[in-house]
Each structure stands twice: as C-alpha cells, then as structure tokens.
C-alpha cells in the first residue's frame, strides 16, 4: 500500500510541475513549425521525447548563465543537433530525467545517498551524452576530411568553380556529418551568403582545428585575391602531414600504454604457464 501511495504522490507532483510549465498554444505551434524544417537532424530519442520537450521548453527560456548557454549552444552545433533540439529543450530533458529518476527512487525506497546520485546522474546525463555525440561527430569529420580536401583540390585546379566543386563533392561523399555540413553550406550559398560568411559559419558549427585552419586560409585567399587552388593544395599537404604526425604520436604512446596490462595480466599468466608445471612436479616429489 505504501508503494502505491508513494507512486501516486510522485506522479501527481510531476503532473503539477508539467501543468505549471504549459505555455500558450501559440508558442507550441511556433516550436513545432520550426521542427518541421529540421527533421533531417532528429534522432529517435529526441523524436520520442519531442512532445514533452515541446511543452516544457518555453518555460526554460532564459534559464542558466550566458556562459553556460553559449557553451551548450556550441556543443549542439558540434553534435549536429542545433536544428533538432535547442538549449531550452535540453534543460527540459534534464528536468524530466531528474524528476522521473527521483520518483523511481522514492517508489523503490532507495537510500537517500544513492537516490541523490541517481537523480544527479539523470540531471547531468543529457550534457554527457551531448558531449559524447559532439566528440564522435568530430572524429568522423576528421577521418573524412583528407579525402574531401584531395577531391576539392583536384576539382578546383581542374577549373571548376568553388561552389560547384562543393556541390559535386556533397553528392559523391557517403552519408555522414561532413556531407551534412557541406549541404548546409550550399544552402547558405543559395540564400545569398557570401563565401566568407559560409566558411565562417562552417568553422563555427564544426569547431574543429583542421576546419578552422582551412576556413581561415580560404577566407584570406578570397580577400586577397589569391588562387584558391594553390591554397587548397597547401592546406591538403599540411593536413596530410599533421595526420601522419598524429599517427606517429599515437603509435609511440601505444608502447607505454600497453605496459600496464602487460605487467598486470600478460606477464603473470605467462609465468604461471611456464613455472606452474615445474612447481607442481617439484611439490609431487
């Protein structure tokens, strides 16, 4: 009986919180209309929780410091979720997880210390997940970037205009984050953005050192009238050299990283296999 009472109280509390946050219908319609334009970015999790986040997000407007909001917005851009979920919806998701896990802990009478840990984890989990998504997306872009650079260099040096070369590459690349970013840049070109503006926007969204260097070099070439093909060739060689140096560094670090498992696991097992039979034979004498 007590379990049922706790569950009903937790459910009623959550319902009251949700009801107090319900905005007017106009705000909900505005958010939904924005979502219809950015469905290509949505993940299954966001699509499943979309209705709840849509209801709660207007109440989260202005919450959090400016520094925090700027950091989260950059994470959303780097994760490719800038069009699918905004900072208000992320805060709403944190609230939903915190309340849900708190109700779960109350229902099963979990000790207070563990309840605080579980509810706290639910509160910080969306940002941890977002940071992981951004990191994984950057790694994918970093792997695809050298091939894209080589192809772009060849097309531009062959006489193709920069925008046309980007359009051709976006059709040739396999589906992934780099292809998505190139298509966003093409859409910006179509709505009237200059090359400098599109490149700055690209660097701001991805927030990757290689892309920042490439964008800065191309912007400088556009402003000074330098040949883009020459700049692309130089950037491609620099990128290839940096990638080779990074691979050498990882290879050098692998030797030191393998020492701990070697000493703790492999060496004792080897000694057991070698010395074990000798020791058993000696004891049986």
Polymer length in residues for the chain: 285
Does one domain contain both 219 and 96?
A: no
H or E segment to which residue 109 belongs: none
Please give the chain's pLDDT, 285 residues, in tens: 455 545 544 555 555 454 444 444 444 444 444 444 344 445 566 667 777 777 777 877 778 788 988 999 999 999 988 877 888 888 888 888 898 899 999 888 889 899 999 999 999 999 999 999 999 999 999 999 988 999 999 999 999 999 999 999 999 898 899 999 999 999 999 999 999 999 999 999 999 999 999 999 999 988 888 888 889 999 988 888 888 888 888 888 877 888 888 888 888 888 888 888 888 888 887
Interhelix angle 2-21/44-56, rounded to 10 degrees, is 70
Number of domains in the chain: 2
Does one domain contain both 126 and 154?
A: no
Residue range(s) defining the domain that contains residue 173: 138-257
Does one domain contain both 164 and 86?
A: no
> DSSP secondary-structure letter at 173?
S
| 194-247 pLDDT per residue, tens | 999 999 999 999 999 999 999 999 999 888 888 888 899 999 888 888 888 888
Q: What is the largest CA-CA distance in the chain?
A: 91
Domain-embedded: residue 275: no
Does one domain contain both 208 and 103?
A: no
- Is the pTM value of this prediction over 0.85? no
Would you state the structure tokens that stand for residue 75, as one six-digit string? 């994470």
How far, in Å, CA of 157 to CA of 259, rounded?
48
Domain-embedded: residue 89: yes
Domain-embedded: residue 264: no
Share of the chain above pLDDT 90, in %: 34
How far, in Å, CA of 48 to CA of 78, rounded?
22
pLDDT of res. 242 = 84
Domain CATH for 235:
1.20.81
Give the contacts of 41 (CB within 8 A, at least 6 positions apart).
80, 81, 82, 83, 84, 180
Does one domain contain both 36 and 83?
A: yes
């Amino acid at each position: 009986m007590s379990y049922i009472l706790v569950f009903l109280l937790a459910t009623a509390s959550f319902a009251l919180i949700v009801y107090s946050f319900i905005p007017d219908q106009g705000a909900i319609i505005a958010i939904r209309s924005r979502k219809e334009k950015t469905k290509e970015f949505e993940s299954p999790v966001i699509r499943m929780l979309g209705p709840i986040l849509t209801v709660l997000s207007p109440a989260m407007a202005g919450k959090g410091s400016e520094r925090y909001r700027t950091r989260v917005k950059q994470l959303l851009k780097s994760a490719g979720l800038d069009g699918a979920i905004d900072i208000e919806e992320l805060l709403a998701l944190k609230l939903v997880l915190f309340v849900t896990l708190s109700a779960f802990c109350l229902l099963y009478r979990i000790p207070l210390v563990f309840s605080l840990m579980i509810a706290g984890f639910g509160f910080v989990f969306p940002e941890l997940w977002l940071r992981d998504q951004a990191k994984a997306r950057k790694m994918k872009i970093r792997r695809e970037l050298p091939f894209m650079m080589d192809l772009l260099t060849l097309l531009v040096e062959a006489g193709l205009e920069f925008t046309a070369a980007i359009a051709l590459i976006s059709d040739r690349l396999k589906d992934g984050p780099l292809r998505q970013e190139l298509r966003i840049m093409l859409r910006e070109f179509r709505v009237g953005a200059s090359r400098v503006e599109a490149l700055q926007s690209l660097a701001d969204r991805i927030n990757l050192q290689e892309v920042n260097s490439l964008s800065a070099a191309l912007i400088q070439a556009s402003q000074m009238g330098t040949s883009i093909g020459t700049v692309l060739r130089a950037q491609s060689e620099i990128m290839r050299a940096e990638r080779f140096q990074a691979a050498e560094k990882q290879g050098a670090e692998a030797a030191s990283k393998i020492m701990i498992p070697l000493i703790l696991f492999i060496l004792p097992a080897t000694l057991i296999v070698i010395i074990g039979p000798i020791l058993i034979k000696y004891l049986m004498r």
